[in-house]
Structure 1
Amino acid sequence: MKILNYRLIIFILSIIFGVVFSIPSFMQTNSGKKISLGLDLQGGLHMLLGVQTDEAVTSKIKTIATSIKYFAEDEDLLIEDLSINGDSITFTILDKDEAPKIETMLEKIGGLEVGLDELTFNVSLTDDEIVRTKDLSVAQAVETIRNRLDQFGLAEPTVIRQGETDIVVQLPGIRSQEDEKAARELISKPANLELMAVDEERADQVYTMSDAQAASYGDIILEDVKNPNTLYLVKEIPILNGEQVIDAKVAFDQSNQPIINFTLNSSGARIFGDFTAKSIGKRLAVVLDGKVYSAPSIRERIGGGSGQISGGFTMIEAGNVAIALRSGALPASVKLLEKRSVGPSLGADSIQASMVALILGFVLVVVFMIVYYKTAGIIANIALITNIFIIVSVMAMFGATLTLPGMAGIVLTVGMAVDANVIITERIRELLRQGLSIQKAIEDGYSNAMRAILDANITTLLVAVILYAYGTGPIKGFAITISIGILASMLTAILGTHGIYEALMPKISKDKNIKKWFGVS
């Protein structure tokens, strides 16, 4: 019989894979992917954030007003006095026959209460839509913050919703003040990009005008990002906002200063091109988070759907803003409610004690398997050790974070892997006692044990999938670890050991010492 077989080849490749890709984690080398420790094992930063959901409602009202303005211009509908009053939009049409077109457009948006008094429209959100908008703003904030932290390079941050408006953020490994400041700025930055038309007719009155007077003209007063004493009078309803941004990258201008180049989607590019074509000679303010970064004059139609933001950025600031724009603007600003730097919840001594207990338990299992099952126990231990290497390697490749629940998952899968080998070996021993040949006993032993092993592993895997789907934070970590462990144990305990027995079959059959091989007389 051939020494090599497909089962053994797959097992050897698994061993090589496990050892090679787990070395960076075990040796903590500077190169290669490795497992990161969670907040409970290495400490870090814990923050509780509150989402200002009322701002999300205001932002949605502003977006609807922008849509109305563009629709009227695109369809050549005559409207005037378009303005935002609190949580409602009012505007007047000059031709009553055009009302059905606007009503149809508003119906497509949905979630609106539309009132028409002669020629004046009053548009506001329904109560259900306000609740849905607030709820969605928190969910979007969770995803946006998680995306930003992932792009920032932080390993496995925990970002979960708590209650109706709060978000818990846990950042393992954040210890220095510089890292903490960068993370906080990245999380809290709204990154609300708006392109707004400058009111050229009243621009020279901006320094003598109050906010109330500006509002009466449908304008707002904004400060320059570099010089707060420089003011701009811009139309309250923006031409475009950050929802149309699909990419943002850091670049450099002619004086080698960092700038941000952004790209708009097809809808934004069309609106931008149409507006610039109609506004040659006028100024367009580039506004980020309520500050004017630049207000260049439009010299010609700007096609292609791209633009740039320049405002004396440092390289780090430009990078953070670009990340924030790419991951999307926060639908509402977030407020820091609580912040604390935490150390490992177990402490170094407790972690060391836990590792000693884990290693001691592992050694006892290995010794028991050798003493009780002889050579079969050694084969089972090879599969067990390989199983651990595979778990660590797969977790390292996916950049997973190891937490206490994750460690529990590893211990549990090690126990399951031992259990599978015990079931297989006991089946083989039973058949040998019945007088079957060694080769027949091994083949039937694996066949008989397969159903019990598969039933146990598949049901556990289904539970792990449910835990991952409905769990949060550490529960997901436990589910991922145990899922990887189950699949690895089925590979090593079933396929791997079977391949070893097939390779050793000529020697086992020739030796015929079943006590030496399986610990049975």
Structure 2
Amino acid sequence: MLDFPPWKIAVVLLLSFVGLVAAVPNFLSDDQIESLPGFLPDNRITLGLDLQGGAHMLLEVDADAIVSERLANLEAEIREALRDKRILGTIETRGERVYVRVRDESQRSAALEAVRDLATPVTDGVGLGGALSRNIEVASQGDGQIVVAMTEAAIRARISGAVDQSLEIVRRRIDEMGTREPTIQRQGADRILVQVPGLQDSQQLRSLLETTAKLTFHMVNAAADPNRPPPGFMALPSVDTGEMLVLERRARLTGENLVDASVGFDESSRPVVNFRFDSTGGRRFADITRENVNRRFAIVLDDEIISAPNIQEPILGGAGRIFGNFTMEGANNLAILLRAGALPAPLTIMEERTVGPDLGQDSIEAGEIAGILGLAAVVVFMLLVYGLFGAVANIALLVNIGLLMGALSVLGATLTLPGIAGIVLTVGMAVDANVLVFERIKEEVADGRGPLRAIEAGYQQALSTILDANITTFIAAFLLFQFGSGPVRGFAVTLGIGILTSMFTALMLTRLILVLWLRRRRPQRLPI
């Protein structure tokens, strides 16, 4: 236990030094961090919402919009299926059902079969493993109509998938803002909780989250009357001019094929948004522009025409520009939205709060006072009870706190008020292992063993107890982190890291200091 070859000494000292260096940026100002050499760490502990303030929002996914969009797509699928079978009839959506009436009654059974062929399996997530069912129900009424409705399993699956997709898109949009350590998690069946520490002005966050950012590209029908668009067309307003334009209802291209969007400038130094498609979108974009030279091509964002340029020549590079009366902030926000992707449905802000930083500062100061008082009490206790050995344990304790702060900084962990409680608890627990070892050493000294044998026996006999106690506590911290949320996870992070650093300082650093002291002094009697 007391065998410390040079390589082991070097490893212990190096780990301690690196951990302490990683903690240093937490005590420096922003200007001082900027002046640090590039090879030194510059990460600081990120404070949570309860410590530095920020924005808190509870969002709800519009389930009705999801169902309405699916019904509109279902209507288009039915129309295309009947067209392929050369069956004429009327199709309309009323409420949550699609009604089909064929003109020729003899084709009714063929129409019924064509519509039923559109049904696909869907997994009902309710229950263990989920049950397999169909996405639509098709029935024939006595008045000659065919009624098509979505099943409950399909509606649940569609809403659940939309929430999962919205969760990822919200995360990407907030990450584009450069915000560190936001909390984004699902709540209930159709809600998303968003907490962004350090963001005091929530207006930008609100605009990013409320915008669906559904980008589509449509051909313009210049000859049609906007007041009476023909079937298969729609009239939408232009953001730039306010005029109503008639567009094909079917989108020729969507934002799903976008791979990049960035802010640029036109020849007059006005902000524009540059966009680029993937290979599939680039080929389709090239085909559309090649076949429609001298026609207007509308770029639609959330049912508003933001640009409708005239196609002057084929665009073969898979890239283009969006012109508009943009400010720099507006162009940047649009680029962020396009890069992050479109939300599958609008998000409604159900709850919005801005947490001020004053409460957070009070919490930090209270946590600092508690930590300092706890540290001072432990230091005094160890000195009074164990003398020189207590001083060695105190040195290891200070290094342990530095290692804990360095680990939190490097990992980018978020420090919350419960996390501060975990640090204070770690300070109290950090000397537990040393107390067990020192008590065993005192027993060995009382039995008449010499200094070297007493210290070696103390570490050997206390090791299993130390490992058992810390491993069980670490398991509890891991379970809290795995199944907890918010403040509970913050407490678990600091507790878990504190256990690891405490084990290192107690079993390696303290022992190293005592071994070096023994080699140098060779005492006849231990001062404990």
Structure 1: how far apart are the matches of 2:450 and 2:76?
82
Q: Give the corresponding residue for 2:325.
A: 312
CA 1:311–1:134: 2 relative to 1, 3 Å: same
CA 1:273–1:348: 2 relative to 1, 3 Å: closer
Q: Give the corresponding residue for 2:7.
A: 6
Matched, 1:85 2:108: no
- What secondary structure does 2:393 align onto? helix
**Cα contact 1:7–1:499 (8 A) shared by 2:** no
Matched, 1:56 2:66: yes
- The structure 1 residue matched to 2:196, chosen from 147, 171, 177, is 171
- What secondary structure does 1:47 align onto? strand
Equivalent residue letter for 2:24: I
Q: Give the corresponding residue for 1:147.
A: 172
- The structure 1 residue matched to 2:217, chosen from 195, 207, 220, is 195
Structure 1 residue 404 displacement after superposition: 0.7
Structure 2: how far apart are the matches of 1:146 and 1:291?
25
Structure 1 residue 88 displacement after superposition: 6.4
Q: Give the corresponding residue for 1:219.
A: 233
Match runs of 1:432-451 below 5 Å:
432-451=445-464
Structure 1 residue 363 displacement after superposition: 0.7
Give the number of aligned pairs. Answer: 501
Per the normalisation by structure 2, the TM-score is 0.81
- What secondary structure does 1:255 align onto? coil
Instruction: Choose 424-433 or 469-478, whichever is displaced more.
Output: 424-433
Structure 2: how far apart are the matches of 1:393 and 1:291?
50
Matched, 1:419 2:432: yes
CA 1:165–1:494: 2 relative to 1, 3 Å: same
**CA displacement, residues 424-470 of structure 1 (integer Å, 9 cap, x when unaligned):** 32233333333444334333433333322222323333333332232
**Cα contact 2:98–2:149 (8 A) shared by 1:** yes
Equivalent residue letter for 2:196: L
Per the normalisation by structure 1, the TM-score is 0.82
Q: Give the corresponding residue for 2:224.
A: 204
**Cα contact 1:406–1:474 (8 A) shared by 2:** yes
Structure 1 residue 55 displacement after superposition: 1.7
- What secondary structure does 2:17 align onto? helix
Structure 1 residue 407 displacement after superposition: 0.5
**Cα contact 1:62–1:84 (8 A) shared by 2:** no
Q: Give the corresponding residue for 2:24.
A: 23
Structure 2: how far apart are the matches of 1:457 and 1:67?
61
Structure 2: how far apart are the matches of 1:78 and 1:271?
28
Q: Give the corresponding residue for 2:494.
A: 481
Structure 2: how far apart are the matches of 1:161 and 1:441?
56
Q: Give the corresponding residue for 1:514.
A: 526
Identical aligned pairs, as a percentage? 39
CA 1:247–1:352: 2 relative to 1, 3 Å: same
**Cα contact 1:285–1:296 (8 A) shared by 2:** yes
Equivalent residue letter for 2:207: E
Matched, 1:367 2:380: yes
Structure 1 residue 192 displacement after superposition: 1.4
- The structure 2 residue matched to 1:112, chosen from 123, 131, 135, is 135
Unaligned residue ranges in structure 2 (runs of 5+): 34-41, 124-133
CA 1:91–1:21: 2 relative to 1, 3 Å: farther
Equivalent residue letter for 1:383: A
**Cα contact 2:295–2:311 (8 A) shared by 1:** yes
- What secondary structure does 1:359 align onto? helix
- The structure 2 residue matched to 1:36, chosen from 36, 42, 46, is 46
**CA displacement, residues 54-108 of structure 1 (integer Å, 9 cap, x when unaligned):** 22233445667889999999xx998999988366678999x99999999878648
Higher relative contact order (CA 8 A, sep 6+): 1
Q: Give the corresponding residue for 2:356.
A: 343
CA 1:15–1:58: 2 relative to 1, 3 Å: same
Q: Give the corresponding residue for 1:502.
A: 515
**CA displacement, residues 257-278 of structure 1 (integer Å, 9 cap, x when unaligned):** 3332333345544554555555
Structure 2: how far apart are the matches of 1:462 and 1:237?
56
